[in-house]
């Protein structure tokens, strides 16, 4: 699955492409959860639309930016300074793509980009090649933000719920039967609520059975996310981002920080979105099927619940002595009642109740 074809990532690629073709050098702020393949996605646009070529610079430790760029651009002799490179025309018609690995000293690269852009602005060459510097969020880019020839493009806030839902729906195989379809919808919703902005986590969760998604603590612990991290550090480490209109802390961080209530709320929300509508359909079906055997419920305060509004607990109570209702049907209503009560109180339904109620097939938990 090419995540760069999803709406949010695709817009990001297009924005980056437009900045480059408009003549800007770009500093891309890329957290650890940035999906792989950004350079290739941009390269695809260049192959279709322009004659520009993308040269990938390996920012190796101990190698100066000048030497790395010179090697990537096949410049022989002494590596030119960024000013000399801009004046030489050696980068004409190309994009120099620089990705800084974790732990790399970004300072010299940020300075190199600033000097190159400044010199290129002095003589405004339309053929001057563009530099794209991909850096982690912790890198200080303040010195570049006032240069009109450089644009800072952060990945943060570029994805939303629709992106994650589309990805999850393409990763999970769909089924035909109604109960199997609900299990699929539940799996997708759980992947979305637990992954948020992290497409890599969504791809990892796609391989898990439904039981592991309803209780994902072991999987989230295996991610090794650090606990007790300050808010500013979470953003820098990619453990928090803006997603679905609000700040979203990575589920792995919630697990490592023992914030089980917040994690359970995400699981509950997925169940509420998918299971509750089906519960209401089944409740109405039960009322229609047994309408002649049901009656309004009157309480001590004279409040009356009409037959049409009876809940599973009331339906079960009114039908349990009826000879026309099988034990299997009563047991099913009992489990449906327990699923409904769990959701109503912010709890996650158990696999036993989900299967015994007929909402989800037992095979979904294998």
In tens, the pLDDT along 4-26 reads 999 999 999 999 999 998 889 99
Domain identity same for 104 and 251: no
Same domain, 145 and 165: no
> What pLDDT, in 10s, does the model give residues 96-142?
888 887 778 889 999 999 999 988 887 665 667 889 999 988 888 98
Looking at the DSSP assignment, which residues form a beta bridge with residue 83?
Answer: none
Q: Within 10 Å of residue 240's Cβ, how many Cβ atoms?
A: 22
For residues 360 and 306, membership in a common domain is answered with yes
Looking up residue 148, the CATH number of its domain turns out to be 3.40.50.300
pTM value?
Answer: 0.88
Q: Quick one: 177 and 286 in the same domain?
A: yes
Domain boundary among 154, 178, 196: 154
If asked whether residues 201 and 248 sit together in one domain, one would say: yes
Q: Give the domain range for residue 181.
A: 161-365
Q: What's the structural domain count of the chain? A: 2
Residue holding tokens 């039960």? 286
Both 242 and 283 in one domain: the answer is yes
Q: State whether 186 and 123 are in the same domain.
A: no
Do 141 and 166 share a domain, yes or no? no
Dihedral (C-alpha) 198, 201, 202, 205: value to the nearest 10 degrees? -160
C-alpha distance from residue 168 to each of 175, 184, 243 (Å): 15, 10, 16
- Which of 154, 171, 204 terminates a domain? The answer is 154
Please name every residue paired with 243 in a beta bridge, in sequence order, or none if there are none: 246
312 and 169 share one domain: yes
* In the chain, % of residues over pLDDT 90: 58
Asked if residue 226 and residue 345 are part of one domain, the reply reads: yes
- The answer to whether residues 133 and 204 belong to one domain is no
């Amino acid at each position: 699955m090419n995540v760069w074809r999803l709406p949010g990532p695709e817009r990001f690629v297009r924005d980056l492409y437009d900045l480059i073709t408009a003549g800007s050098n770009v500093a891309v702020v890329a957290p650890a959860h940035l999906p792989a393949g950004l350079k290739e996605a941009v390269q695809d646009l260049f192959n279709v639309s322009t004659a520009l070529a993308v040269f990938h610079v390996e920012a190796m430790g101990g190698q100066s930016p000048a030497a790395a760029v010179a090697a990537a651009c096949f410049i022989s002799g002494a590596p030119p300074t960024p000013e000399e490179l801009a004046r030489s025309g050696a980068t004409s018609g190309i994009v120099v793509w620089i990705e800084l690995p974790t732990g790399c000293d970004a300072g010299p690269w940020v300075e190199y980009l600033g000097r190159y852009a400044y010199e290129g602005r002095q003589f405004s060459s339309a053929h001057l090649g563009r530099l794209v510097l991909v850096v982690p969020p912790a890198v200080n880019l303040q010195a570049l933000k006032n240069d009109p020839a450089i644009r800072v493009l952060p990945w943060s806030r570029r994805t939303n719920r629709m992106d994650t839902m589309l990805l999850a729906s393409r990763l999970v195989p769909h089924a035909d039967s109604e109960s199997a379809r609900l299990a699929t919808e539940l799996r997708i919703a759980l992947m979305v609520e637990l992954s948020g902005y992290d497409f890599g986590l969504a791809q990892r969760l796609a391989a898990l059975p439904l039981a592991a998604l309803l209780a994902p603590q072991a999987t989230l612990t295996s991610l090794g996310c650090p606990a007790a991290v300050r808010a500013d550090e979470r953003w820098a480490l990619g453990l928090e981002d803006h997603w679905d209109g609000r700040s979203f802390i990575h589920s792995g961080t919630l697990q490592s920080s023992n914030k089980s209530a917040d994690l359970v709320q995400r699981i509950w929300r997925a169940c509420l979105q998918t299971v509750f509508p089906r519960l209401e359909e089944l409740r109405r079906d039960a009322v229609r099927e047994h309408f002649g055997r049901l009656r309004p419920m009157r309480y001590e305060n004279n409040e009356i619940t009409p037959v049409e509004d009876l809940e599973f607990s009331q339906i079960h109570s009114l039908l349990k002595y009826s000879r026309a209702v099988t034990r299997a049907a009563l047991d099913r209503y009992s489990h449906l009642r327990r699923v409904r009560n769990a959701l109503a109180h912010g709890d996650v339904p158990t696999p036993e109740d989900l299967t015994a109620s007929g909402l989800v097939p037992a095979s979904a938990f294998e």
